[in-house]
Amino acid sequence: MQFLLANATIVLPDRVVDRGWVLVENGKIVSIGQSSYPQTPTVPQFDLIGSYLLPGLIDLHCDVIEKLVQPRPGVEIEVGIALHAANRLMLSCGVTCQFHALSLDDAEFGVRSERFVYDFLHRLSSERHCGARHLVHARVEISSDHGLVALKTIAGHPFLRLVSIMDHSPDQGQYTTEAAVRAYVAQTTGRSADEIDEILARKRAAQADIPYRIDQVVRIARDHGLPIASHDDDTPERIAR
């Protein structure tokens, strides 16, 4: 089957083609041209009216799925509904492959938990009607007790394609002060001051184990051929490490 996409602004690796056309046959591009295009009565033609035509975008880090599942503290939307909403949003923005950034943490932020990650991977494994490719970028919180455990459990899953290391300890990376941590946790989760005290105490106690946990994350990722990234590196020393 053939069809022609005409009057498009085509983005190529080395240039942008105005008033271009693309001929597609059996799902593959067979030719690209400019201005005049083949006039074949049997080939359906679609006038793109100058719209941009470019390869589908690959988004390596987007945590919108967490916000769709838990739009505010105490409210949780069913994973399948949130996934369909994310799918429509992605395609409307030209994203055809989404790496959903899922945090492996201690559930301080609700959906940032082992339970949600397992549920989400199960849903991806059972979905067969999404329009885009959905993969998982596992963000391992190395100041948490459960992040490394969760990574060990899901390592090897076919939809897990990227692992990254993040540290939301007080005075590290993203949070330069304890007040910044408290404000973010309170706004995002609605937790009380006493509950935030407990979270900060756990994270401070975990700091001595962080080098070991980083080594373990790297080993697991390498064993499974997974690319490794890192978050919020705020000093040359952290980048070098």
Average pLDDT for 119-129: 81
State the pTM of this model: 0.77
Q: How far is CA 30 from CA 1, 14, 26, in A?
A: 12, 18, 9
Is residue 165 over pLDDT 60?
A: yes
Q: CA angle 166-56-227, nearest 5°?
A: 30
pLDDT in tens, 62-89: 888 988 988 887 788 888 899 999 999 9
Question: What are the chain's domains?
Answer: 2-53 (2.30.40.10), 57-240 (no CATH)
> Strand pairing of 57-62 and 95-104?
parallel
